[in-house]
Structure 1
Amino acid sequence: MFEAFNMLIHTSMIGWVIERLIWAFFTWCIFLSGFSHADDQAPKYTFVREATSTPPILYYDYIVIGGGTCGCPLAATLSQGARVLVLERGGSPYTNPEKINIKNFLNSLFDPSPSSFAQQFISNDGVLNARARVLGGGSVLNAGFYSRASSRYIRDSGWNETLARNSYEWVENKVVFEPLIMQWQTAVKDGLLEVGVLPYNGFSLDHLYGTKVGGTIFDKDGQRHIAADLLEYADPKRISVYLHATVQKIVFKDGSTEKGLPQAYGVIFKDAFGVIHRAYLSSKPKNEIILSAGAIGSPQLLMLSGIGPANHLEAHGIEVVLDQPLVGQGLADNPMNALVVPSPVPVEVSLLQTVGITNFGGYIETGSGLSLGHSWSQRLQESFKYVSNQSRQPWTFPLEGKESVIDSIRSSLANLTFNGGVIVDKVSGPRSRGHLELKTTNPNDNPSVTFNYFKDPEDLKICVEGMKTIIDLINSKALSRFRFDYIPVQALIDLVLSLPVNLRPKHVHAAFSLEQYCIDTVLSIYHYHGGCQYDKVIDYDHKVIGVEGLRVIDGSTFNGSPGTNPQATVMMLGRYMGERIIKERFLPVAK
Structure 2
Amino acid sequence: MRARRRRSRKTKRGEAAVVSREEFDVIIVGSGSCGGALAARLTGDPDRRVLVLEAGAVYESVAALPQRVRDPADVSGGMPGSPHNWELTGEFADGFVAPVARGKVIGGSSSINAAYFIRGTKENFTEWAALGNDEWSYEKVLPFYKRSESEKDFPHDTEHHGTTGPIPVQREPIDRAPEFTRAFTDAAIGLGFPVEDDKNGPGSGGVGPVPTNISHGLRVSSAVGYLIPNLGRTNLTVKGGVQVTRVLFQGTRCIGVEASVEGRTQRFHARQTVLSAGALRTPQLLMLSGIGPARQLKEHGIEVLADVPGVGQNLMDHPKMSSPWTFSGTFPVLPGRNVMTSNLNWTAEGSGQAGDLEILPFVASRASMFRVDTDAVAMRVPAVQVSVMQEDSRGEVTLASADPLGNPRMKWNFFQQESDRVRIREGMKVLDELFHSAPMRAIGAKLLSLDKTDLASNAAMDAWMISHLNYAGHPSCTCKMGPDTDPMAVVDQYGTVRGVENLRICDQSVFPKLTSRGPAATAYLLGERMSAFFA
Category of TM-score, reference length = shorter chain: 0.7 to 0.9
Counterpart for residue 7 of structure 2: none
Counterpart for residue 84 of structure 1: 50
Shift of 1:481: 3.4
- Greater shift, 158-167 or 453-462, is seen at 158-167
Counterpart for residue 334 of structure 1: 318
Counterpart for residue 393 of structure 1: none
Q: 1:377 and 1:446, CA in 2 relative to 1: closer, same or farther beyond 3 A?
A: closer
Encode CA deviations 1:365-391: one digit per residue, 9 max, x unaligned: 1111327469966522xx45xxxxxxx
Counterpart for residue 483 of structure 1: 444
Residue type of the alignment partner of 1:554: D
Shift of 1:314: 2.0
Q: 1:358 and 1:162, CA in 2 relative to 1: closer, same or farther beyond 3 A?
A: closer
Task: Please give the alpha-carbon distance, in whole angstroms, between the structure 1 residues aligned to 2:75 and 2:370.
Answer: 11
Which structure shows the higher helix fraction?
A: 1
Q: Is the 8 A contact 2:209 2:343 kept in 1?
A: yes
Larger CA Rg, structure 1 vs 2? 1
Task: Please give the alpha-carbon distance, in whole angstroms, between the structure 2 residues aligned to 1:533 and 1:374.
Answer: 33
- Greater shift, 147-156 or 533-542, is seen at 147-156
Counterpart for residue 166 of structure 1: 143
Task: Please give the alpha-carbon distance, in whole angstroms, between the structure 2 residues aligned to 1:493 and 1:168.
Answer: 38
Q: Is the 8 A contact 2:318 2:474 kept in 1?
A: yes
2:219 match: secondary structure: coil
Shift of 1:57: 3.6
Shift of 1:225: 0.8
2:321 match: secondary structure: strand
Q: Does 1:528 pair with 2:475?
A: yes
Task: Please give the alpha-carbon distance, in whole angstroms, between the structure 2 residues aligned to 1:96 and 1:216.
Answer: 20
Task: Please give the alpha-carbon distance, in whole angstroms, between the structure 1 residues aligned to 2:260 and 2:117.
Answer: 34
Counterpart for residue 370 of structure 1: 365
Q: How does 1:17-416 map to 2 (within 5 A)?
A: 56-81=20-45, 82-92=48-58, 94=62, 95-102=64-71, 105=74, 107-110=76-79, 112=81, 115-123=83-91, 125=93, 126-128=96-98, 129-157=100-128, 158=134, 159=136, 161-173=138-150, 174-178=166-170, 179-181=172-174, 182-183=177-178, 184-196=180-192, 198-206=193-201, 208-221=204-217, 223-228=218-223, 229-231=225-227, 232=229, 236-254=233-251, 262-271=252-261, 273-281=262-270, 287-347=271-331, 350-360=338-348, 361-370=356-365, 372=367, 378-380=373-375, 383-384=376-377
Counterpart for residue 14 of structure 1: none
Q: Is the 8 A contact 2:284 2:399 kept in 1?
A: yes
Shift of 1:468: 0.6
Residue type of the alignment partner of 1:325: P
Task: Please give the alpha-carbon distance, in whole angstroms, between the structure 2 residues aligned to 1:263 and 1:55.
Answer: 18
2:284 match: secondary structure: helix
Q: Does 1:451 pair with 2:412?
A: yes
Shift of 1:492: 2.3
Encode CA deviations 1:479-502: one digit per residue, 9 max, x unaligned: 113336xx7x5x6226998xxxxx
Task: Please give the alpha-carbon distance, in whole angstroms, between the structure 2 residues aligned to 1:522 and 1:103.
Answer: 24
Encode CA deviations 1:386-427: one digit per residue, 9 max, x unaligned: xxxxxxxxxxxxxxxxxxxxxxx9xxxxxxx93x44221110
Q: Is the 8 A contact 2:507 2:523 kept in 1?
A: yes
Shift of 1:47: 9.6
Q: Is the 8 A contact 2:315 2:475 kept in 1?
A: yes
Q: 1:292 and 1:510, CA in 2 relative to 1: closer, same or farther beyond 3 A?
A: same
Task: Please give the alpha-carbon distance, in whole angstroms, between the structure 1 residues aligned to 2:285 and 2:118.
Answer: 29
Counterpart for residue 562 of structure 1: 515
1:472 match: secondary structure: helix
TM-score (norm 1): 0.73
RMSD over aligned Cα atoms? 3.0
Q: Is the 8 A contact 2:75 2:114 kept in 1?
A: no
Residue type of the alignment partner of 1:268: E
Task: Please give the alpha-carbon distance, in whole angstroms, between the structure 1 residues aligned to 2:116 and 2:211.
Answer: 6
Shift of 1:227: 1.1
Q: 1:58 and 1:482, CA in 2 relative to 1: closer, same or farther beyond 3 A?
A: farther
Counterpart for residue 505 of structure 2: 552
Encode CA deviations 1:414-447: one digit per residue, 9 max, x unaligned: xxx93x4422111011110111111123333321
Shift of 1:208: 3.2
Shift of 1:510: 10
Q: 1:244 and 1:265, CA in 2 relative to 1: closer, same or farther beyond 3 A?
A: same
Q: How does 1:451-530 map to 2 (within 5 A)?
A: 451-483=412-444, 492-493=449-450, 513-530=460-477
Q: Is the 8 A contact 2:80 2:87 kept in 1?
A: no
Task: Please give the alpha-carbon distance, in whole angstroms, between the structure 1 residues aligned to 2:124 and 2:235.
Answer: 34
Q: Is the 8 A contact 1:199 1:209 kept in 2?
A: yes
Pairs aligned (count): 469
- Greater shift, 154-163 or 454-463, is seen at 154-163
Encode CA deviations 1:145-171: one digit per residue, 9 max, x unaligned: 111111122233332545522222222
Q: 1:558 and 1:317, CA in 2 relative to 1: closer, same or farther beyond 3 A?
A: same
Shift of 1:91: 1.2
Q: 1:106 and 1:269, CA in 2 relative to 1: closer, same or farther beyond 3 A?
A: same
**Residue segments in structure 1 that go unaligned for 5+ positions in a row:** 1-45, 49-53, 255-261, 282-286, 385-408, 410-416, 498-507, 586-591
